Amino acid sequence: MRATTSLHTCRRVALALLLSWAGATSAAAQPAKPPAFKPAPKVDVSPAVQKLKSGDEGQIRAGLDDLRIAGAAAAAAAPAVADVLARGLTEPLALQAIETLGDLESSDGSAILAQYASHRTVTVRRAAIKALTRTKGAAAASALRKALGDADAQVRGNAASGLGALKAKDAVPDLFVALDHKVNEAAASIGQLCNAEQCEQLAGKLGKLPFDVVMSGLELMLFRPSSEVSEDAKIKVLGRLRELGTGEAHRFLKDVERRLVKEASPRIRQAVEQAVKATAGGSQ
Amino acid sequence: MKTVTIRILGAAALIASALSQGCASDPSRLNTFSTDWLDDSGRSIAEVQTRLRGARPSANTDLVVSVAGNDKIIGTPLGGGAQWTAKHALDVRPIIAGGVVVVSGGNEVAALDATSGKKLWARPTGGLPLVGAGDDGNLTALSLSRGAGSTLLIVGRDGSVKRQIETDKTLGDPEVVGGVVFVPWANQYVSAIDAASGDEIGRVTIRDKVSRALTIGGTLYFGELAFIRFDDKISQSSRGGASRVALPSRELPGTPRLLVPGTEKVPPAANARDRDRLFGRPSGEATPLAIDSGRFYASYYRLILGLEAQRGNLTWVHTHPHDFIGGEAVTGGLVLCDEEGKIVALDAQTGQVSMEKSVGEPIKSCVVQADTFQAPKAATPGPSLSQQITDAVTVREATLATAQRLLLRELATLEDESATKTLIDIASDPRSVPVLVADARAALATRKNGAGYMLAALGKHYDFLHDVLRSPPVGPIAAALAAMKDPKAPPLLAAQLLDPQITDDDVKQAAAALALIGTEKEMPQLKQFFAMYRGTAPSDEVAVAAGSVAEAMLRIDPKGSRPIVEAAAKDSMTVPVTRARLEALLAATPEKGGDKPAAGEKPSAGDKPATKTKK
């Protein structure tokens, strides 16, 4: 169930990338502009921070509630939340503080979240890993890499996905090890982060790992802008799929062909079309 | 009521016998298998002993007889000679008796020549199961079970029945020496029957349970739980004065038996009882009677334990690739056969294989007879006892767990540092049998050496990506290293303290160790642990650990730590178990002058861990 959800997520991400890929391929000299980002208006966090400093359980809970409602706009309160978490709370409050730090999306929360990412209670670890994916920063990436070796499959999976979201390219070798240990979420992250050689390595997993798992990564890789992954690398992967020649490879390629934007590179388009033809009638 | 009927083949003899029984009114006079006999203080057996002086039992053939396939009997000589095969229906396991192999099944009993497998004779049994046999080269005595009674059959080499004695007593495994048949019965008597006349010419009362008469190395013994030698002291047997040797009592895996009761029908195929056995060989004519080579042996599936014959101390352990299903102690060692048809001799002193033979095919059971055969001495002494135990306890077979637990306890008594390593390996290996892990952990906590192995183990952590799927036994190692006051332990223990994969009990023990040997260098981890778990401890063990960590903090930095601990003790968010521990700690270590926080300074329940929070 979790793997399916993860694959669906990958498809949504792929679609988003597909849209941006059109611009990247049509005009290499004119990189795609990111969508306009409106920073959230800042809010006054001092009343909430006062509550956090009260030492009173109820007040702390109320302060955290206030901050969660404000979300990223209350990022200035992240050090105070980290501080209260670092002093020690009950488990429900600790979970609330962790989730609040995730909502604040400030890297100020990453260091304390990294500590809670190795808490003995698995629900606490899972929450911390999820929050780290949102707070980002070096401490987050380091903690997520460490969490790939966690005993809990959900922690490992979330950590693998988080490394992709954090664009932690240094973590790709670890993600491959994770993938070999059935952390399927690692495939999508590899697809998001791989260089040409690593993308080829991922394609090499075809036939060794479940098709859907490998494709969750290759799909993302194929739709990445050519500034990140060269056309040659993509054509190599398409060649691998063509060689595979199975029915599921054919269906995948058909799907890629259908989703190719008008502005897609002629070389890529041609490679996809040829691969679709070559795999038609492939074995099931 | 007549308790015994002697049926001599021939009517005249039968009548004579009946008359003889009818006149039996003197209780000191022997009537065959009679229970109204009064102990004659060894007089009658002494007469038999005198009669047989110089009449040594015939040499037995040194042979392994295996049952294989469908009623296939294979004879493999231990010395020279060719292997032979024979076919015969089998209801019970073959018995090697002197120079013959007695087989029974298909309503007949037959004798095969032990050197060739050639059938010498066969007699109908009416379906009675064979339970024992003895042979002196001329006569073969057979004990057949009749439910509530037995039949003793004495057969000549030509197959003619010399005597057939039926009794309502349960007879054991007989032996024949010089034409006299020795028959154990009623667990306490051995009757000497003159094969020529059928008369009981002597009887001895044995103080041990006795159901077998057997010759080993040219000497006659009686026994089941011990060996009683038939020598010039046999007449003192009823007074406990016979030459006797038994194996020392000690803890062993399973319920091994030295000798299968001579009244027991042994199935043709080996069963569980054949997989845990005791083996020991009496020393022969030497005085006092002892156990050969000073060793006895216990088998448990594919493990063999070599044990010192005086006190039963473990001297070696042999681990074999397959289960042993039969064997016999021989001079200088032990001969065993496994279910794959391999025959090995083990050196008594080292447990090393000193000879190998093969039946050539898997077997269902085997019996061994070794009269003059001697186990060769092994070429090498083999690995240390510690290593031998390690080899045995690291075999991952649940069936061996009972023996492995015993061996682990033996290992824990050895001062060899490698024993520590083995205990760590077992406790760290996810494939280890759970009971062994528990035993290894318990033993590890008491180790006084092998700190290097312990420190190396503490450096390892659970790591799914690198297939380290069980944390090291942190708790017992912590206890051992704390007892040794090892200065290298605290940083490693502190790192383990924060590892979520160690058990709650390990956390508790690691924290307790740090309370004793933690240093200033571990303060950041101690503070982090304290803050993180004082309010979120998922178990009482972890809550206690938080208390121990507070103890460590107060010992290392009383001034800096007291306000933190005091605040936590008052904070309702601190779990009750930890709070109680903190209150006790604070009460036990009263505040000293200067330790109090400055006026107006607000103590915080938990100090901030060493985070790098951006301001």
pLDDT tens per residue, range B362-389: 999 999 999 899 999 999 999 999 999 9
Which residues of B are less than 8 Å from A107 in CB distance?
Answer: 614
pTM of the model: 0.76
Q: B572 vs A178: CB contact, 8 Å cut-off? A: no
> What's the pLDDT at A187?
97
Residue B605 has a pLDDT of 52
**Residue B309: pLDDT over 90:** yes
Query: Is the predicted pLDDT of residue A240 greater than 70, yes or no?
Result: yes
Integer CA distances (angstroms), B608 to A57, A105, B252, B576, B612, in order: 18, 21, 56, 21, 10
Q: Is A195 domain-assigned?
A: yes
Residue A108, number of CB atoms within 10 A of its CB? 25
Contact at CB, B611 and A115, closer than 8 angstroms: yes
Which residues in chain B are contacts of A156 at CB distance < 8 A? 464
* B33 φψ region: left (φ > 0), alpha (ψ -120 to 50), beta (else): left
Residue B240 has pLDDT above 60, yes or no: yes
Mean pLDDT confidence for A180-205: 96
Q: Residue A124 and residue B575: Cα distance in Å, rounded?
A: 17
Q: What is the pLDDT of residues A25-48, one digit of tens each?
A: 333 333 344 455 555 667 899 999
Asked if the model's pLDDT at residue A100 lies above 70, the reply is yes
Residues B520 and B484: beta-carbon distance below 8 Å: no
CA B230 to each of CA A157, B191, B236, B284, B309: distance values in angstroms, whole numbers, following the listed order = 77, 12, 11, 11, 21
Please name which of B83, B114, B73, B110 lies closest in space to residue B97, comparing C-alpha atoms: B114
Indicate the DSSP class of residue B531.
H
For residue B571, give how far its alpha carbon lies from the nearest alpha carbon of chain A (Å): 8
A154 at the B interface (CB within 8 A)?
no
Q: Do B605 and A88 lie within an 8 Å CB cutoff? A: yes
Question: Least CA distance to A90: which residue of chain B?
Answer: B535
Q: Does B606 lie at the interface with A, CB-CB under 8 angstroms? A: yes
**Do A9 and A51 fall within a single domain?**
no
- For B236, B249, B614, the CA distances from B206, given in Å and listed in that order, are 9, 20, 90
Closest by Cα among B61, B130, B119 to B88: B119
Q: Are the C-beta atoms of residues B472 and B427 closer than 8 Å to each other?
A: yes
B residues 458-477 closer than 8 Å to A (CB): 462-466
Nearest CA in chain A to B465: A149
Six-digit token string for B62: 């040194």
Q: Provide, as residue numbers in chain B, all residues whose Cβ is less than 8 Å from the Cβ of A89.
A: 535-536, 573
3-state SS record for B273-292: HHCEEEECCECCCCCCCCEH
Domain of residue A250: give its range.
1-28+187-284
Asked whether residue A13 carries a pLDDT value surpassing 60, the answer given is no
Q: Does A121 contact B at CB distance below 8 Å? A: yes
Cβ(B562)–Cβ(B585) under 8 Å?
no
Q: Does A181 have pLDDT greater than 90? A: yes
Report whether pLDDT(A223) > 70. Answer: yes
A148 touches B462 (CB < 8 A): no
Interface test with B, best of A87, A123, A126 (most B CBs within 10 A): A87
Is position A249 within any domain? yes
**SS3 assignment for chain A:** CHHHHHHHHHHHHHHHHHHHHHHHHHCCCCCCCCCCCCCCCCCCCHHHHHHHHCCCHHHHHHHHHHHHHHHHHHHHHHHHHHHHHHHCCCHHHHHHHHHHHHHHCCHHHHHHHHHHCCCCCHHHHHHHHHHHHHHCCHHHHHHHHHHCCCCCHHHHHHHHHHHHHCCCHHHHHHHHHHHHCCCCHHHHHHHHHCCHHHHHHHHCCECCECHHHHHHHHHHHHCCCCCCCCHHHHHHHHHHHHHHCEHHHHHHHHHHHHHCCCCCCHHHHHHHHHHHHHHCCCEC
> In this complex, which of A83, A88, A148 lies closest to B535 when CB atoms are compared?
A88
User: Which chain A residue is nearest to residue B574, measuring alpha carbons?
Assistant: A90
Q: Which residues of A touch B546 (CB under 8 A)?
A: none
| Within-domain flag for A204 | yes
Number of CB pairs < 8 Å for A and B? 101
Least confident of B90-99, B341-350, B582-591: B582-591
Portion 57-86 of A in contact with B at CB < 8 A: 57, 79, 82-83, 86
Q: What's the rounded Cα separation, in Å, for the pair B458 and B296?
A: 40
CA separation for the pair B424, B437 (Å, rounded): 9
What local confidence, expressed as pLDDT, does residue B12 receive? 37
Closest CA to B119 of B159, B78, B166, B82: B159
Q: How far, in Å, CA of B403 to CA of B406, rounded?
A: 5
The lowest-confidence range among B17-21, B135-139, B438-442 is B17-21
The total of structural domains in chain A comes to 2
Mean pLDDT of the B126-153 span: 95
Contact B101, B117 (CB under 8 A): yes
Residues A208 and A267 in one domain: yes
Select the residue of A83, A88, A177 nearest B465 (Cβ to Cβ).
Answer: A177
Determine phi and psi for A56, rounding to 5 degrees. -95, 130
Please indicate whether, in this complex, the C-beta atoms of B528 and A108 are within 8 angstroms of each other. Answer: no
Phi, psi for B75 (deg, rounded to 5):
-105, 125
Residues of A in contact with B536 (CB under 8 A): 88-91, 94, 119, 121, 124
Select the more confidently predicted residue: B36 or A92: A92
CATH number, domain of A60, equals: 1.25.10.10
pLDDT, position B245: 97
CB contact, 8 Å: A181 with chain B?
yes
With 50 as the cut, is the pLDDT of residue A22 above it?
A: no
Domain end call among A124, A147, A170: A147
pLDDT reading at B16 higher than 80: no
DSSP structure class, residue B61:
P
Give B392-432 pLDDT, tens digit per residue.
Answer: 999 989 899 999 999 999 999 999 899 999 999 999 988 88
Residue A182 belongs to a domain: no
Q: Is the Cα torsion angle B606, B612, B614, B615 positive or negative in sign?
A: positive
Dihedral over alpha carbons A224, A229, A231, A237 (to 10 degrees): -80
Pick among B527, B536, B565 to test the A interface (most A CBs inside 10 A):
B536
Contact B615, A109 (CB under 8 A): no
Instruction: Find out whether A76 and A64 touch, Cβ atoms under 8 Å.
Output: no
Q: Which residues pair with B221 in a beta bridge?
A: B214, B229
- Judge if A23 and A48 occupy the same domain: no
- Cα B120 to its chain centre, rounded Å, is 39
In angstroms, the CA B421 to CA A4 distance is 45
Which residue, A89, A116, A147, sits at the end of a domain? A147
Output the 3-class SS for B199-256.
CEEEEEECCCCEEEEEEECCEEEEEECEEEECCCCHHHHHHCCCCEEECCCCCCCCCC
Task: State the pLDDT confidence band at B9, using cuts at 50, 70 and 90.
Answer: very low
pLDDT mean across residues, chain B: 90
- Residues A132, A205 within the same domain: no
Question: Across residues A134-158, what is the average pLDDT?
Answer: 96
Most confidently modeled range among A118-122, A233-237, B22-26: A118-122
Note whether A57 contacts B573, CB cutoff 8 Å.
yes
Q: Looking at residues A190-209, what average pLDDT do you find?
A: 94
* Closest C-alpha among B325, B328, B320 to residue B374: B328
Q: Is residue A100 in a domain?
A: yes
Query: Considering CB atoms only, which of B501, B504, B536 is closest to A90?
Result: B536
Domains of chain B are 63-246 (2.130.10.10), 272-369 (2.40.128.630), 385-588 (1.25.10.10)
Q: Minimum mean pLDDT among A23-27, A124-128, A167-171: which range? A: A23-27
Whether residues A56 and A103 share a domain: the answer is: yes
Q: Sign of the C-alpha dihedral, residues A50, A54, A59, A62? A: positive
Closest partner CB to B611 (pick from A111, A151, A178): A111
**CB interface of B with A, residues 557-576, below 8 Å:** 568, 571-574
* Domain end marker among A147, A174, A198: A147
Q: How confident is the model at residue B55 (pLDDT cuts 50, 70, 90)?
A: confident
Judged against a pLDDT cut of 90, whether residue A108 lies above it is answered with: yes
Whether residues A22 and A51 share a domain: the answer is no
ipTM: 0.84
| Whether residue A48 is found in the same domain as residue A24 | no
Q: Tell whether B607 lies on the interface with A, counting CB pairs under 8 A.
A: yes
pLDDT-derived band at A116 (thresholds 50, 70, 90) equals very high
Q: What are phi and psi of B53, to 5 degrees?
A: -60, 125
The residue whose two tokens read 């002196």 is B136
Q: Is pLDDT at B345 greater than 60 in this prediction?
A: yes
Q: Do B531 and A87 touch (CB under 8 A)?
A: yes
Give dist(CA A116, CA B267) in Å, integer.
Answer: 64
Answer yes or no: is pLDDT of B10 > 70.
no
Interface of B with A in 478-537 (CB under 8 A): 498-501, 504, 507, 528, 530-536
Question: What's the Cα-to-Cα distance from B603 to each of A56, A87, A91, B218, B568, rounded to whole Å?
Answer: 14, 11, 22, 90, 9
Residues of A in contact with B498 (CB under 8 A): 118
Do residues A230 and A279 both lie within one domain? Answer: yes
Using pLDDT thresholds of 50, 70 and 90, give the confidence band for residue B28: low
Are A143 and A49 found together in one domain? Answer: yes
CA A154 to centroid of chain Cα atoms: 14
Domain membership flag for residue A163: no
Q: Is A29 on the interface with B (CB under 8 A)?
A: no
Percent of chain B with pLDDT over 70: 91
Tell me the two tokens of residue A32. 């795609």
Q: What is the mean pLDDT of chain A?
A: 86
Q: What is the mean pLDDT of residues B245-268?
A: 95
How many C-beta atoms lie closer than 10 Å to residue B332's C-beta? 20
Name the residue facing B608 among A83, A107, A118 (closest C-beta).
A83
Q: Is the confidence at residue B561, as pLDDT, over 90?
A: yes
